[in-house]
Amino acid sequence: MTLISQIIFVIVLAVPTYLIVKRIRQIRANILRGKALDRNDNSSQRWKTMLLIAFGQKKMFKKPIPAFLHLLIYVGFLVINLEVLEFVIDGLLGTHRVFAPYLGSFYNVAMNFFEFLALGVLVSCVIFLIRRNVVKVPRFTMPEMKGWPAMDGNLILIIEITLMMAILKMNAADQVLQAREVAGYHETGKLWISSALVPIMEMFDTSLLILTERGAWWFHIVGIMAFALYVTYSKHLHIFLAFPNTYYSNLNPKGKINNMDAVTTEVKSMLGMPVEAPAASPDEIGRFGAKDATDLSWKSLMESYTCTECGRCTSECPANLTGKTLSPRKIMMDTRDRIEEIGKGEGTEKSLLGDYITKEEINACTSCNACTEACPINIDPLGIILEMKRYVAMEESGSPASWNAMFANIETNFAPWKFAPSDRFNWADDLKNDKK
């Protein structure tokens, strides 16, 4: 029976692992469809940014209460996986609580700490469910969150609650089996939180208790593997991508907008300055800005997969707050949906600009960087918006008429106003004449 259990366990591990690896390769291929971008400079600053923002969750604590609850889930996710390591070893070797005989009293301390975290995760998830579905926090009820995005957030929370309950139920049954001195159940000492369930478990006979304990153990293993696979299709992929995303953050000041290499090269050439040979191959189609997801950089595409859909960017966006259609969160969600579609070879007649994101949305953006500043993991929706604005302005001449007039004035007069550079200081001459 133990051998059959071990074989089933290996299958339970192997099948999801294969599917997870396959999905990761697909996501990586989609991200690499983006344009090249060098983000390998200043490695010390990048490591510091990753440790503070992704690992330390520095920006989360602008909202202390949800930040603390999120921290409980985050720490619980990291630490409870140490217990899952024991599950895996037990499953492969056919043992039960393999670490208990070797760790002695420390095993009881560790298990109580794990249970404390499990309870913290459970309570936090319940509170988050209430905030989403009862309190209805405004940023979770915006139009782009209807349907699947809302269901995805709720489903993840329900899965986490169920997994934590399975751990506590398993430990409670285990304690009763230890007290009855059933063979194979090692002494772990009292587990304070799951002990609350012991009076209920004591009403069961031994065979039913073993079934309960083993059932909860298998449920947790299967649940963990299913959760890991599901995450690769969910917004909760940020659990993993937050680290590389923050490492490759844009380290420039928030207000600095990068110049377009093609335009910079042309200007230098006109001024007789030395220019570098173009990196693109002659067969590559040149395009100003971005019309589709593949016109964006790989970093922008990574950010679309990293987006947590928390809505902090949209709740801080002044355009959205004044009733405009722009939602930075929707920009990221649309980009991810579009590159997924491209990766599947679908929607060849579509493009990101027009079919997913409208000109009305991008024209509402003031380039204030409030969205980038608000994002807890340094996602930059403005970078995508600017690239699409560049495409509309330079490829389609489709910007609003007042903008085109301003662009023309800047090109000819070096200022947004329609008068010659030589007349720029006439107002100062008038002041001098008035003084005379």
pLDDT digits (tens, 9 = 90+) for 189-231: 889 999 999 999 998 899 999 999 999 999 989 999 999 999 9
Residue with tokens 């004035």: 409
Nearest to 386 by CA among 348, 353, 350: 353
Mean pLDDT of 420-427: 75
- Dist. CA 391–CA 372, nearest whole Å: 21
pLDDT band for 345, please (50, 70, 90 cuts).
very high
More confident residue, 307 or 283: 307
Mean pLDDT of 238-261: 89
More confident residue, 328 or 280: 328
Residue-wise pLDDT for 316-329, tens only, equals: 999 999 999 999 99
pLDDT above 80 (res 282): no
Mean pLDDT of 337-341: 96
pLDDT above 90 (res 287): no
Does residue 97 sit in helix, strand or coil? coil
Q: Tokens in use for 121?
A: 């995760």
* pLDDT value for 435: 62
Say which range, 128-132, 215-219, 273-277, 380-384, has the weakest mean pLDDT. Answer: 273-277
pTM: 0.86
Q: Tokens in use for 260?
A: 């377009």
Asked whether 229 and 23 are in contact (CB, 8 A), the reply is yes
- Dist. CA 324–CA 320, nearest whole Å: 5
